[in-house]
Structure formats: structure tokens, C-alpha cells
Amino acid sequence: MNLAIAFPDYIPDSYPILKLFEEHHVCVASPNSSIANTKPTLADIAEYPSIIASPSRPNFKGSINDWFKQFGLKCNIVVSAPCFSIVPMYLETTDSLSFLPSRAIKGLNLIEIDLEQSPDKFDVIAAWHPRYNEDALQKWVISLLEVE
């Protein structure tokens, strides 16, 4: 069985997908960061050292970059992490912020930074290679993920 839980941007168009839910990014930082408990503008957020999670490509670019471009701003990305789960550790040891999926921060020692504007919502999907379309185990797992 091969199954990926991802954002549509990371999946080839030829792969079957199943939408799992809609999600949104939140801006987070350590409670000890210098930006904690302030009211930063979007320009302040863009200038602040930022950590992104870029699982498929360590290139210091994330979906949040395009969102900031809408406002004529560029992110000050200083670290490109290989996965979302490591970003909170970086945040705890650096004076930086990150944009993470809202469900990824539950129960973590992070604070949410209030923003003037919020990034667009996005889909989280399950996807698999077409060669597994008829695989019995794959079909069963996908049936467990389907929500009506």
C-alpha cells in the first residue's frame, strides 16, 4: 500500500485523490519570542525571521510566499525544515515565527500571532499511485478515510 497525506500542489495530476478536509495556516511563535504578545503588521511579520516546512523541496519557498506577494511583501525565510513536526523545536530555540496548519499546532507550546489578514484555506488530500487503484488493502484504507 502506498498513500500520501498532502496538499494538492505536491501531488502529480495523474494520481487519484480523496479530499480529506479543508485547512488553514496560522502564524505561530514561541511564547518567549520577541514578537509574542505584540500586534505586528503584515509587513512586520514578513520581515521577522521565518521558518517554513518544505517536505518535498528544501528551497526556502513555501505556499505562504505567494500569499505575502499579494501585499507586495517578501518573507524573511531563514530555515527550511524537512517536515512540519520539527518546526516547533526550531521555534522554541530561535526568535522566529512560522506558518503552520492549524491542526498541526494543537497541544504544542506555541502562541498564535493575530494577523490583519489570513492566508487562504487549502485542501488536505489523500493520494496514491494509479497502479494501486485495484489493490484490496488500498481500497479498504481509502474507504476508512471517506467521510460523507
DSSP characters for the chain? Answer: ---EEE-GGGS-TTS-EEEEEEE-EEEEE-TTSTTTT----HHHHHHSEEEEE-SS--SS--HHHHHHHTTT---EEEEEESSGGGHHHHHHHSS-EEEEEGGGSTTSS-EEPP-SS-PPPEEEEEE--GGGTT-HHHHHHHHHH---
pLDDT digit string, tens, across residues 17-58: 999 999 999 999 999 999 998 999 999 999 999 998 876 655
Q: Quickly state the pLDDT bin for 135 (edges 50, 70, 90).
A: very high
pLDDT digit string, tens, across residues 64-91: 888 999 999 999 999 888 888 899 999 9
* List of domains in the chain: 1-23+121-148 (3.40.190.10), 25-119 (3.40.190.10)
